Amino acid sequence: MSNEQTVLSPAMASTSGYVRTEVKAKARYVRMSPQKVRLVVDQIRDKDVVSALELLRFLPQAAAQPVHKVLRSAVANAEENMGLAREDLYVSEAYVDAGPVRRWRRPGARGRVKPQLKRSSHITIVLEEYEYE
């Protein structure tokens, strides 16, 4: 991943006696198609962190590796900066946005040009922990 950005945001929103703490991690400009990365991200959404990490280790898709890296980064930030336990975290939000598209040209038959689109993705994972006040 070329530019990995981590954002910590403790959002303290009281709803029905619970305190909501969230931790974000982003990976930007990942050289994979967003459509392919979304297939992997959809499998870890709303899972606890331990089972999501284990699932990503054994998925055959190539997109599982950068998603695993972002999830590990979010967990490390939660543990180190916020003092949260890994077992109490779960993936509340996970989404993939489209990054810039590099356009290439390749020669085709009869002197024509075949366009090649090199897509990129921005991966965002948000972890949450609920504690009783």
Positions of the chain with pLDDT under 70: 1-19, 130-133
Q: Which residues pair with 30 in a beta bridge?
A: 121
Alpha carbon 6 to its chain's center:
11
Q: What is the pLDDT of residue 103?
A: 96
Q: Structural domains in the chain? A: 3-132 (3.90.470.10)
Distance CA 85, CA 89 (A): 7
Q: What is the pLDDT of residue 21?
A: 84
Q: What is the pLDDT of residue 13?
A: 47
Q: What is the pLDDT of residue 7?
A: 52
Q: What is the pLDDT of residue 4?
A: 54
